[in-house]
Chains A and B, each alone.
Chain A
């Protein structure tokens, strides 16, 4: 079907997208790389000088970086654990026939469409507020001391909020995978006397394995850049208890105007994300043909 002429016009049709994306990626990234080697602070204009790898040394040896890295890993790991584990259970539940299944499904996926600043503020003020929040009222009803969520367990609170936003995504993807499973296979196993648990372990789980991998990789990419939820709830605090790598770079760039340091941090974030991205791109590439 592809003649020489269609091939030429195809190339022409692709050009704007390819060129724009190349510029969008290459230019700023090259600049970040260049800035990361400079001593460059916006508060001291005209004082830029070559610094080599000094910014990297400062960024990587900053105790806040190690905390930030650990917080990032805890956040990503925690949310993955809750959303994938919960997602499997939710998918199994929604796969059962029951009354009003369609409506429940809509309720379950709804949080995914709530903008991050809204969900962060609603959770922080109306649910987790230590005095007037709903959780505080529930605790007092049972005679317990209300928890000051963002004071006592700030990172855990953010994990809760972000998990609530990402559980729907996992549920939806896993449910789709589950529903593509051949029911005959399940029924045959049931006839052969396999119990519900062994049917789940030997048939359902392997069938969902691919979908689980996709969820893990895609969520990881997005979770590495969680930002709004931290900005509106804790501002990275108390101290650096909820500072992630992304948030650390933001603070250095737009609050301390340290272009050099922030750029070094940005490159570190890019390297971290790329490790995940390689796996994801491979997995999806395999799917292409």
Chain B
């Protein structure tokens, strides 16, 4: 970047860049705009881009018509629950693998990753039947469990790659200075591990929030999170574009913002450190 770029080149790329970015972002922008229209304006031809009567009534109606808040809370509980449970199980495991590796650690890690490669549809039938018999169909607990297991390999892997970057020398130095194991963990290790744990938390909330296969197949009216609830708008009884847009905007906004903040971790997390 040190070399000078002519202003003309820069302007050309600015125009192309913004144009391409706008096109890719457009469906999201359009959804947000539509969510502030009346149903009539939403399907008007020619489409109304900015000059329409802005209204917030869709946001009010989305909830009063279909208990949106319940599904939103289902999403919150399921994605937070599965992420926290996953961290609880994964932190000790990743910790052990990073700081006390054995010859088999690598094999265990790769085996864990391979469980993530198992297509969900391969175990759909037994999980469905087991859930039916255990009364777990359409419950938050059941879904928390499934999503925890589905994302556990990713959580372990991400934590492992973060923990491995904590230099062992610092631990040794602390020990030399006479720090006890408890002090070592609380004052030396934890502060260095927190950023990695936070990124893992963020990314897994995103993954769990958007997970659709299990939520569509294992829930109905009661425990359905937003992924499944929004799918109910596909029924042909009528097109409620403005309301669909309002429900969608509310569903994607928190995750979009989280995703923007964690884009760097996303690269490491989803490629398991294979691309740096």
Interface residues on B, range: 35 or more
Mark B113-131 against chain A: 1 for CB-CB distance below 8 A, else 0.
Answer: 1111111111111111110
**A236-278: which have CB < 8 Å to B?**
245-246, 249-250, 253-254, 259, 262-263, 265-267, 269-270, 272-274, 276-277
Contact check, B272 vs A210: say whether CB atoms are below 8 A apart: no
Contact check, B124 vs A262: say whether CB atoms are below 8 A apart: yes
Contact check, B252 vs A107: say whether CB atoms are below 8 A apart: no
Q: Which B residues are CB-close (under 8 A) to A231?
A: 216, 231
Does B179 lie at the interface of the complex (its beta carbon under 8 Å from any beta carbon of A)? no
- Cα A103 to Cα B152 with chains together (Å): 33
Contact check, A180 vs B276: say whether CB atoms are below 8 A apart: yes
Does B1 lie at the interface of the complex (its beta carbon under 8 Å from any beta carbon of A)? yes
Contact check, A24 vs B89: say whether CB atoms are below 8 A apart: no
Does B17 lie at the interface of the complex (its beta carbon under 8 Å from any beta carbon of A)? yes
Q: Which B residues are CB-close (under 8 A) to A93?
A: 13, 16-17, 20
Contact check, B115 vs A164: say whether CB atoms are below 8 A apart: no
> How many residues of A are in contact with the other chain, CB < 8 A?
110
Contact check, A100 vs B18: say whether CB atoms are below 8 A apart: yes
Does A57 lie at the interface of the complex (its beta carbon under 8 Å from any beta carbon of B)? no
Count A/B pairs, Cβ under 8 Å: 312
Does B24 lie at the interface of the complex (its beta carbon under 8 Å from any beta carbon of A)? yes
Does B59 lie at the interface of the complex (its beta carbon under 8 Å from any beta carbon of A)? no
Chain B interface mostly helix, strand, loop or mixed? helix
Contact check, B121 vs A118: say whether CB atoms are below 8 A apart: no
Q: Which chain B residue lies CB-closest to A23?
A: B149
Provided the pairs A17-B93, A90-B20, A288-B106 are in contact, do residues A250 and B121 lie with their beta carbons within 8 angstroms? yes
By CB atoms of chain A within 10 A, which of B116, B255, B271, B272 has the most? B271
List 19 A–B pairs whose Cβ atoms lie within 8 Å, in order of A's numbering. A9-B96, A10-B100, A13-B92, A16-B93, A21-B112, A21-B153, A35-B126, A107-B24, A108-B24, A108-B25, A109-B259, A117-B231, A119-B27, A122-B245, A127-B27, A169-B270, A180-B276, A225-B120, A270-B122
The chain B residues found within 8 Å of chain A, CB to CB, are: 1-3, 5, 9-11, 13-14, 16-18, 20-22, 24-25, 27-28, 30-31, 34, 43, 45-47, 89-90, 92-93, 95-97, 99-102, 106, 108-110, 112-130, 149, 152-153, 156, 168, 171-172, 206, 209-210, 212-213, 216-217, 226-228, 230-231, 233-234, 239, 241, 244-245, 248, 251-252, 255-256, 258-260, 263, 266-267, 270-276
4 smallest beta-carbon distances between A and B, as pairs: A277-B117, A13-B92, A228-B212, A10-B96
With A225-B213, A227-B216, A285-B106 known, 16 other A-B pairs at CB within 8 A are: A7-B100, A28-B130, A96-B9, A99-B10, A109-B263, A110-B25, A118-B230, A120-B234, A125-B244, A167-B24, A176-B267, A214-B274, A227-B121, A227-B212, A266-B121, A280-B117
